[in-house]
């Protein structure tokens, strides 16, 4: 899949989707983490997590399209990393210092045709629903 120009051009949708990131080629459970999707398009996603994933890493990004039982798993590359300065940091019951929240830009590398169609249909529905709610 795409290059940076294509990624910048794709329509992005602000959605709250729980996802999972796993470093590509790793079988260790410690090398995977939950993430919150901030926005998504058919060419990439912006996610937040407290785990550190180096820029340039290949990851598997898995999530379920909201309101469906359709699971999607995509290989992507971390192309952007930034700290989230406005995220609330709750004190953990154990007294541990909460992790710093980081945002990762993921460029999708292998979105297969059936997942692309499912995402296109979902994002089209989401766009129309939001436009209808604004009118």
Kindly list the domain boundaries of the chain, sorted by start residue.
4-134
Identify the pLDDT of residue 7: 43
Average pLDDT, the chain: 83
Do residues 105 and 123 touch, judged by C-beta distance below 8 A?
A: no
Q: Which residues, in sequence order, are CB contacts of 135 under 8 Å at separation 6+?
A: none
Checking if the pLDDT of 87 tops 60, the result is: no
Domain spanning 4-134: which CATH class is it, in words? mainly beta
123 band by pLDDT with thresholds 50, 70 and 90: confident
Query: Which tokens is 73 given?
Result: 């798993």
Identify the pLDDT of residue 92: 55
The pLDDT tens digits for 73-82 are: 999 999 999 9
Please tell me which residue, 131 or 34, carries the higher pLDDT value. 34
Identify the pLDDT of residue 4: 45
Q: Which residues, in sequence order, are CB contacts of 56 under 8 Å at separation 6+?
A: 77, 78, 79
Checking if the pLDDT of 20 tops 90, the result is: yes
Cα–Cα distance for residue pair 93/80, rounded to 1 Å? 32
């Amino acid at each position: 899949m795409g290059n940076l120009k294509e990624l910048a051009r794709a329509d992005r949708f602000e959605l709250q989707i729980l996802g999972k990131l796993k470093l590509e080629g790793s079988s260790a459970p410690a090398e995977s983490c939950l993430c919150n999707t901030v926005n998504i398009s058919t060419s990439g996603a912006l996610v937040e997590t407290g785990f550190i994933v180096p820029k340039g890493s290949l990851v598997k990004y898995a999530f379920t399209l909201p309101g469906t039982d359709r699971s999607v798993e995509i290989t992507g590359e971390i192309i952007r990393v930034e700290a989230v300065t406005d995220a609330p940091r709750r004190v953990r019951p154990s007294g541990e210092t909460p992790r710093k929240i980081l945002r990762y830009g993921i460029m999708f590398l292998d979105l297969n045709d059936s997942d692309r169609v499912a995402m296109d249909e979902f994002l089209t529905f989401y766009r129309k629903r939001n436009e209808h709610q604004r009118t």
